[in-house]
Chains A and B, each alone.
Chain A
């Protein structure tokens, strides 16, 4: 007992003694948050860096090529001699939009159908099997999808389509980009539908509605903004997708779209220039920033739109 007493004194006093070292820890308390703040600020600097880089280099580009020509010319032929070069981004935008449109035609119905199946029909067990598979699909690198588009989908389409299809075309990468986006639309839409309270479903089911009617007339309308937001995010992903379209889409920018023929997207153009031996400071070098800027603005608008739509959605419940 007496040993206990002395020991008890000692712990309390030991803690008291250590108080002197607390000034150190007081310094830590002040410094540490600042370090973390710097980490957080780096993410802002990243955005500033992106905007600043794109803006300054694009500005240089517009000193050489008029901004009016850039947005109105429908021809994009940068690699000819300087006087004959054409920098009309419409050709690249058309390529991007074509691929995006094809992708959405594939991804929206299939992704949405999968979402409805998962949220309204599938048992917990089925969901447990299918969701990881969708995750796997979402995790496959785009280079692999690009390979798949070029070496499987294109030859397949060539057989199916009467008259054949060129080796580089808009259709094949469009379809594959769509496949790539299915998991994203499926899982985001499913989240939105899962957020619909079960009481709403039960109410309709109790009145004798079939599952299909519940899905279409109750769940889908209630989850609509979340579902639409997932489409918009899908569009943004498709616009920014690079490797699939670079590998399977070809490098022939054109505004006259024929989906069985080669096209070029904004992203594919940037890769093409990076791969070539274009010197630093040439007009072509700066052109990738102008294209990148356009790409950035497109995707930013889509992302902000998606956020806006889904924020409205949250207010509903």
Chain B
């Protein structure tokens, strides 16, 4: 019941905000049919930082992150209201094509999902669909992206082999490389390490740290240690609402909401 009470409270982090936002989310609501999955979401996502989204299962993390590149619209029963402003443009504006948005806002999925093609073709896919045909340019992009995803050394001799021959962790880094190839502005990651072993997880975490020099990253994670380790800011979701959003160290050391505290200390549900 205290959910309704808290809704009125203006997040107190509002005034601490001293960053350039890439995304400004305003009163975002989302329904799956009758199911109200996101409720009045309102916060800004900083540029060139890592923003972590945490919260219990089913609280709407994936739903939220998928609204940022409008992938959520692939579910036919979805309805939305509110606005998401990406670099001064409302992404729900009819004139703003989803393809254009998704070119700028890349996504890495929970389960590694390489295409059933060669490693090279996987990475070259993005540039190709965006009209880049020059073989030399493609070669360069492929190498640079694979290096960027810290997988170049492992695959440089087998670029023409099928990507399904890679290990799960390698596949996930390949997916990151594939995403880097079109040089997006923002990278969304939905539990990118949940299907990986600890060593691969570590590699991806290091990679995320590396990537935030050039990219703004939003990462959903179930793992609070992970959020604490790699993110600059953290949003805690509960039942489709943002309970608390502030910089990561504050959220974990000195949560202002009781429910956040319960959750991060593991006392939750």
Report A-B touching, CB under 8 Å. Answer: yes
Binding site for B on A (CB under 8 A): 4, 7-8, 11-12, 14-15, 18-19, 21-22
How many contacting A-B pairs (Cβ < 8 A)?
A: 31
Instruction: Please state if A15 and B103 are interface contacts (CB–CB under 8 Å).
Output: yes
Does B87 sit at the interface, judged by CB under 8 A?
A: no
A223 to B131, CA, bound (A): 54
Kindly list chain A residues whose C-beta atoms are within 8 Å of the C-beta of B214: 8
Does B132 sit at the interface, judged by CB under 8 A?
A: yes
With A15-B182, A15-B183, A21-B131 known, 20 other A-B pairs at CB within 8 A are A4-B144, A7-B140, A7-B144, A8-B183, A8-B214, A11-B127, A11-B132, A11-B137, A11-B141, A14-B130, A14-B132, A14-B137, A15-B127, A15-B131, A15-B132, A18-B130, A18-B131, A18-B132, A22-B99, A22-B131
Given contacts A8-B183, A8-B214, contact A15 B130 (CB under 8 A): yes
Which partner residue on chain A sits nearest B140 by CB separation?
A7
A178 to B129, CA, bound (A): 54
Question: Which range contains the number of B residues in contact with the other chain?
Answer: 10 to 19
Which partner residue on chain A sits nearest B185 by CB separation?
A12
Closest 5 CB pairs of A and B: A18-B131, A15-B130, A12-B183, A11-B183, A18-B130
Binding site for A on B (CB under 8 A): 99-100, 103, 127, 130-132, 137, 140-141, 144, 181-183, 214
A contact face: mostly helix, strand, loop, or mixed: helix
Kindly list chain A residues whose C-beta atoms are within 8 Å of the C-beta of B144: 4, 7
Shortest distance in angstroms between A303's beta carbon and chain B's nearest beta carbon? 32
Kindly list chain B residues whose C-beta atoms are within 8 Å of the C-beta of A12: 182-183
A-B contact pairs, 8 of them (CB 8 A): A4-B144, A7-B144, A12-B182, A14-B137, A15-B127, A15-B131, A15-B132, A18-B131
Kindly list chain A residues whose C-beta atoms are within 8 Å of the C-beta of B141: 11
Shortest distance in angstroms between A199's beta carbon and chain B's nearest beta carbon? 30
Kindly list chain B residues whose C-beta atoms are within 8 Å of the C-beta of A21: 131
Kindly list chain A residues whose C-beta atoms are within 8 Å of the C-beta of B130: 14-15, 18
Kindly list chain B residues whose C-beta atoms are within 8 Å of the C-beta of A15: 103, 127, 130-132, 182-183
